[in-house]
């Protein structure tokens, strides 16, 4: 991928993630003006910038549905590299990309280039924190909580929130049998694939029948819930390895719907 396309991809991620606040804080009056000017500055077609933004939309809380397809490797790398960067820092990065004419000569440009590299960069090596848990994921988790309070599915017991503990699942349910482990994934539409972090997948393998994947489909309109017990045994996942993402596991929409 050309360097300017890589930079456009980062700007498109910001436009999707921060929605209207993104283009207004960059000094543009609309998304149309923003994508047009970004394309002009970076030497990329306006339609390309728009399509890049649309690819990220299913993972962000905005009114657009976006492209309902699995993210390509370069898009996954951008998500992983910047998902834990706060909005103010993202704004400064994007401003540097767009308005600093000497940006490609800076250390920051080198660091961004490493995001897309297929070669190991030891000083950038760190434990993977790739979790596609934007507003879509949060809405799915809240839907699961509300549904559990009514139905007590997938098992009855005491529900404990473990989302901030980084333990390879979102919730625990404790009952007389023991602990059960719940991972919730949200889909913006009726279909789509999901990603497991390496830790989540290993935890699913470890706990077997006590690990449940809860899929919440069509989260933006009329959510529906599907529960898959022991997903590591029932679903075929493809391992993905990236420079800044050590390991993740993806499950295609075809497998989920089979």
pTM value surpassing 0.95: no
The backbone torsions φ and ψ at residue 173, rounded to the nearest 5 degrees and listed phi first, read: -125, 125
pLDDT, tens digit (0-9, with 9 covering 90-100), for 159-199: 999 988 878 899 999 999 999 999 999 887 777 788 888 78
Q: What is the mean pLDDT of residues 26-47?
A: 95
| Interatomic CA distance for residues 62 and 231, integer angstroms | 30
CA terminus-to-terminus distance, the chain? 34
Of all residues in the chain, the percent with pLDDT exceeding 70 is 86
Q: Taking 60 as the threshold, does the pLDDT of residue 125 lie above it?
A: no
Lowest model confidence (mean pLDDT) among 54-63, 74-83, 103-112: 103-112
Q: Enumerate domains of the chain plus CATH numbers.
A: 3-124 (no CATH), 135-256 (3.40.1350.10)
pLDDT, tens digit (0-9, with 9 covering 90-100), for 94-122: 998 999 888 888 767 777 777 777 654 44
Burial status of residue 7 (CB atoms within 10 A of its CB: 0-12, 13-18, 19 or more) = buried
């Amino acid at each position: 991928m050309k360097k300017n396309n890589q930079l456009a991809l980062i700007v498109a991620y910001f436009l999707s993630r921060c929605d209207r606040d993104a283009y207004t804080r960059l000094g543009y009056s609309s998304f149309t003006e923003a994508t047009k000017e970004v394309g002009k500055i970076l030497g990329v077609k306006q339609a390309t910038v728009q399509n890049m933004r649309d690819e990220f939309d299913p993972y962000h809380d905005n009114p657009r549905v976006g492209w309902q397809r699995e993210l390509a490797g370069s898009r996954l790398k951008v998500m992983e590299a910047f998902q834990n960067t706060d909005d103010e820092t993202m704004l400064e990065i994007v401003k540097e990309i767009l308005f600093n004419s000497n940006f490609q000569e800076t250390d920051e440009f080198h660091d961004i280039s490493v995001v897309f590299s297929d070669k190991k960069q030891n000083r950038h090596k760190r434990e993977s924190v790739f979790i596609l848990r934007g507003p879509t994921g949060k809405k799915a988790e809240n839907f699961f909580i509300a549904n559990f309070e009514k139905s007590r599915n997938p098992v009855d017991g005491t529900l404990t929130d473990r989302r901030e503990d980084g333990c390879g699942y979102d919730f625990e349910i404790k009952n007389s049998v023991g602990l059960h482990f719940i991972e919730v994934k949200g889909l913006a539409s009726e279909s789509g694939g999901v990603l497991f972090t390496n830790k989540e997948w290993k935890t699913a393998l470890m706990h077997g029948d006590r690990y449940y994947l809860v899929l919440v489909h069509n989260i933006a309109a009329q959510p529906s819930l599907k529960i898959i017990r022991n997903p590591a045994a029932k679903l075929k996942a493809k391992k993905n390895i990236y420079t800044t993402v050590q390991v993740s596991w993806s499950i295609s929409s075809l497998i989920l719907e089979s």
